[in-house]
């Protein structure tokens, strides 16, 4: 009897794929100490940036309209105009120049509750050390040359003021807001009708020329008082001009509520990230 072979009688061994082995993932949980250390690192870096590199300021008055409006929030570069430092040799420094918008400490303190308080101000730098400056009908003339300043408020018959627009033909008078020290120093700085700016001092004016307490009222700004220059407007909110003069917790809470309710309608969106010039 013959044994029949099946067609598949030849034996073949086929390799079967082995099941994939998923490597075990070891979960490492952050310890409370590491979490605190991470937060502190972020805070230190942020504090360094806000202290030495950049800082935010809000515009409280209309002295720089239309360039800057009340309620503009600015990022200020604190490096470029700072005195050069050997510990940061790669950073670009330069001296303040005419036309710069600068943040500075007011050279004359305001008295608040009997205590001197130095305020941060934002103005346009008009004159540098050595300049001979005067105004005629509101036009700034430096070293005998009339300056083209399209950003400045124009002088008209309605807003003309001898003290502001014919400066320095009329001496500062404390009765009209000038400081006593400036009124005393002022006559010694006039030569042939020009105000001569001493070394290390700068002359500041607001773009809103008839609504600006500036160097015409309180004198020169020392070089060391210059803090920086605004870079751009990161947020602008419609704000009454006297809002930042209000004090008290109640007023602060009420204003925060107003901002929350009117954030979208009263934010000046067209001024967001607007460069300051």
Please state the pTM of the whole predicted model. Answer: 0.78
Give the Cα separation of 203 and 161 in Å (integer): 19
| CATH code for residues 54-275 | 2.10.109.10
pLDDT of 42 reads: 46
**Do 204 and 104 contact (CB within 8 A), yes or no?**
yes
- In the predicted model, what is the mean pLDDT of residues 213-240? 94
pLDDT of 243 reads: 85
Cβ-proximal residues to 34 (8 Å cutoff; 6+ apart), any chain: none
> Which residues in 90-179 belong to E strands, given as ranges?
101-105, 110-112, 115-117, 120-127, 132-136, 139-142, 145-146
* Type and span of the H or E element at 58: strand 54-58
Residue 79, pLDDT > 80, answer yes
Give the Cα separation of 196 and 193 in Å (integer): 9
Q: How many residues does the chain have?
A: 277
**Do 100 and 228 contact (CB within 8 A), yes or no?**
no
Angle value at C-alpha 154, between 151 and 158, nearest 5 degrees: 155
- In the predicted model, what is the mean pLDDT of residues 127-135? 97
Give the Cα separation of 140 and 126 in Å (integer): 8
Residue 48, pLDDT > 50, answer no
**Do 128 and 98 contact (CB within 8 A), yes or no?**
yes
Residue 80, pLDDT > 50, answer yes
């Amino acid at each position: 009897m013959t044994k029949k072979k099946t067609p598949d009688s030849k034996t073949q061994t086929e390799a079967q794929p082995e099941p994939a082995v998923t490597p075990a993932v070891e979960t490492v949980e952050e310890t409370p100490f590491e979490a605190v250390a991470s937060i502190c690192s972020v805070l230190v870096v942020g504090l360094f940036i806000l202290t030495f590199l950049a800082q935010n300021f809000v515009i409280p008055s209309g002295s720089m309209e239309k360039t800057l409006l009340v309620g503009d929030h600015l990022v200020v570069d604190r490096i470029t105009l700072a005195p050069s430092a050997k510990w940061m040799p790669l950073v670009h420094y330069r001296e303040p120049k005419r036309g710069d918008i600068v943040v500075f400490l007011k050279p004359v303190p305001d008295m608040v509750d009997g205590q001197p308080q130095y305020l941060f101000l934002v103005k346009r730098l008009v004159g540098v050390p050595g300049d001979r400056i005067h105004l005629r009908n509101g036009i700034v003339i430096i070293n005998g040359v009339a300056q083209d300043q399209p950003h400045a408020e124009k002088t008209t018959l309605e807003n003309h003021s001898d003290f502001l627009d014919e400066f320095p033909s009329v001496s500062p008078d404390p009765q009209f807001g000038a400081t006593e020290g400036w009124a005393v120093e002022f006559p010694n700085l006039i030569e042939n009708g020009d105000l001569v700016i001493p070394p290390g001092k700068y002359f500041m004016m607001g773009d809103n020329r008839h609504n600006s307490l500036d160097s015409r009222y309180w004198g020169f700004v020392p070089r060391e008082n210059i803090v920086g220059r605004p870079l751009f407007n990161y947020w602008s909110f419609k704000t009454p001009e006297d809002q930042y003069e209000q004090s008290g917790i109640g007023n602060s809470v009420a204003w925060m509520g107003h901002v929350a309710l009117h954030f979208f309608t009263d934010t000046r969106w067209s001024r967001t990230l607007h460069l300051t010039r």
